[in-house]
Amino acid sequence: MAGKHTTLYRDKQNAKLMGVCSGIADYTGVNAIWVRLGMIVSLFTPLAAVTIPGYILMGLLLNKKPAELYVDRQEQQYWQSVRQNPRRSAREIRGKMRDIDRRLAEVEAYYVSSNPRLNAEIERLR
């Protein structure tokens, strides 16, 4: 499932020409205007010899972005952060899981301490 979220696609829904710039913008999380401006500026530099064929090649080879790729804006931002820094994302998930585990242990301790019958049953199972 993560494979389709971490792939570069052409974004035909927000496209101006072939959807390459909007796809790069979606992939990186950068505003599409900045990607398009960078593309235009590169046309007036010696990089134009690489930019134009590269754009056309990407436009032909990249798949269209699936319409159901993201459920909502929050999921889109999450996957963009995963693509930008996977290690940071893994640390954040680990931290959230530790927090959930800690909170669950607090709830368990509270409930068990106020219910001696349950406490005895848990101790018997250990």
Residue type for position 98: R
d(CA 44, CA 48): 6
pLDDT in tens, the chain (126 residues): 456 766 778 877 777 888 899 888 888 888 889 999 999 999 899 888 898 899 999 989 988 877 777 777 787 777 777 777 777 777 888 888 999 999 998 888 877 677 778 778 888 888
Residue type for position 38: G
* Bridge partner residues of 64 (DSSP): 10
15, 17, 37, 41: which is closest to 26 by C-alpha? 15
Domain coordinates in residue numbering, the chain: 1-84, 85-126
